[in-house]
Amino acid sequence: MLLSNRMSGVTLIAFGLCWSQCLIAQEMQVGYSDAVTMTSLTNGLYQRHPARLNETAQQEQVDANAKLADSFFADVASIKLRHQNDFIGSNDGLQEWEGNVEMPLWLSGQKQQQLVLSETMSAELPIYQQQVRLQASSMARELVWHVVQADVGKKQAYQTWQSALKLTQDVMSRVAAGDLAKTEQLLSRSHSLEMQNEYLLAEAELEYALKNYQYLTGETALPVHHIEPLSTQVELTEQHPQLQLYDYRISTLRAQQGLARFDGATNSSLSIGMRSEREVSSDDYVNSVGVDFSFALDDTTYRQPMVTAATRALADTEVERQQLNRDLKIHLVAQQHALETMRKQLHVLTEKNSVTQQYLALQQHAFDLGEIDLVGLLRSQIIASKTQSRKQMLEVNINYMIANVNQALGVIL
């Protein structure tokens, strides 16, 4: 009977070793490549960013506005042709031919203001592109660091599971030898299964992060050099792409405000025409040239709604810019505070991890001597594993937080 129990224990040990080696071979690995950089990832994400679709529309608007500002007339010039005769009426041979060219003229300062608007709109587009590139940098940072975090979590779970398997094998050997009760074997086996479950969850999290990374970036490997140095810049500056974009939008709105006083106004119009007429019972035509000039007497009332609307749009944008500046500063302070807190935590966890590892070694020795039971050893193993995992993950999160601080400062990859 004793021999049968020992053979059963040996079989379980062999099965455990075989299962462990099989899963080692199937363990998911994250690839890293020198050919992939954070900058190349950002460029790729920028090229595929949905906001880039708006760039074409903005450029077309800039081109259209520049063409309008460069036009000779303030509006569409038109030709008017007129013919009149008495064929249906008296039929005495009366005929009149008349042709006019109407040319709307720029009001004083209108063309210059249109040119100013064209220049400000043209200058806004590159800043918009920088803002989109900053968004792409944020996406690159998030995608890479989510994979790195998941990879570290998976490795930690794997190491914990392998330690549990090793302990289970040791317990089964001692149970087979009659040194421990069979209940200890069941307890250790239950613990190793729980650790295996944790590992499978961590592996699934890594698989999801990798698929998301590959789908959005088109890359299968991560950049080798993905850790960023902390920017020497400490405070938010006016060069932040989001703030710069608002500054240029405000400049554009101011130009539109200046141009709004011409909206609803009646442009002066110059008309030059020729008239040819033949009087009754005459074969000779009388040709003449006419010049007409028209202008508005007072159109202030009709301009005011456009001016008011432009002023309101400008005021709203200036308020939004102030709110954005405040929100960006609050976010930056929060990220910097989180980074400093993590660094302090790492100092404490490093020391705690050293102590718990020493304690675990002593507990393992006491278990080998039979001075403590398996429950006490498992408790010590769990504490040591969690402490080491927290330390390793905190080291990763510190580098991730550095990337977040750089992002908050407006650093583009």
Q: Is 223 within 8 Å of 33 (Cβ atoms)? A: yes
Rounded average pLDDT per 10-residue block, the chain, 413 residues: 43 47 58 91 92 83 81 79 75 76 78 82 88 94 95 91 87 80 83 90 94 92 92 89 91 82 68 74 71 69 73 88 94 94 90 86 83 79 85 92 94 92
Strand pairing category for 32-33 and 222-223: parallel
Q: How much is the pLDDT for 403?
A: 95
Element (H, E) at 353: helix 300-368
Q: Which of 155, 145, 69 has its CA nearest to residue 113?
A: 69
Distance between CA atoms of 338 and 397, rounded to whole angstroms? 10
Q: How much is the pLDDT for 107?
A: 76
Q: Which of 46, 202, 197 has its CA nearest to residue 129?
A: 46
Q: How much is the pLDDT for 119?
A: 83
Distance between CA atoms of 355 and 367, rounded to whole angstroms? 18
Q: How much is the pLDDT for 261?
A: 75
Q: Which of 304, 293, 297, 291 has its CA nearest to residue 266?
A: 297
Tokens describing residue 132: 């989109």
* Beta strands per DSSP E along 38-197: 78-85, 95-104
Distance between CA atoms of 108 and 67, rounded to whole angstroms? 19
Q: How much is the pLDDT for 2?
A: 40
Q: What angle do CA 202, 341, 329 make, to 5 degrees?
A: 105
Beta-carbon count within 10 A of 100 CB? 17
First-to-last alpha carbon distance for the chain, in angstroms, is 69
Q: Is 267 within 8 Å of 75 (Cβ atoms)? A: yes
Element (H, E) at 308: helix 300-368
Distance between CA atoms of 195 and 203, rounded to whole angstroms? 12
Q: How much is the pLDDT for 383?
A: 84
Is the pTM for the entire model greater than 0.85? Answer: no
290: left (phi over 0), alpha (psi -120 to 50) or beta: beta
The dihedrals phi and psi of 75, each to the nearest 5 degrees, come to -150, -175
Given the structure tokens 């950089």, which residue do they identify? 37
- Collapsing DSSP states into helix, strand and coil, what is residue 290? strand
Q: Is 105 within 8 Å of 74 (Cβ atoms)? A: yes
Q: How much is the pLDDT for 163?
A: 85
Q: How much is the pLDDT for 25?
A: 41
Torsion, Cα of 45, 149, 401, 323 (10° steps): 50
Distances (CA, A) of 4 to 1, 8, 10, 73, 373: 5, 6, 10, 106, 25
Cα 120 to the center of its chain, rounded Å: 25
Q: How much is the pLDDT for 154?
A: 93
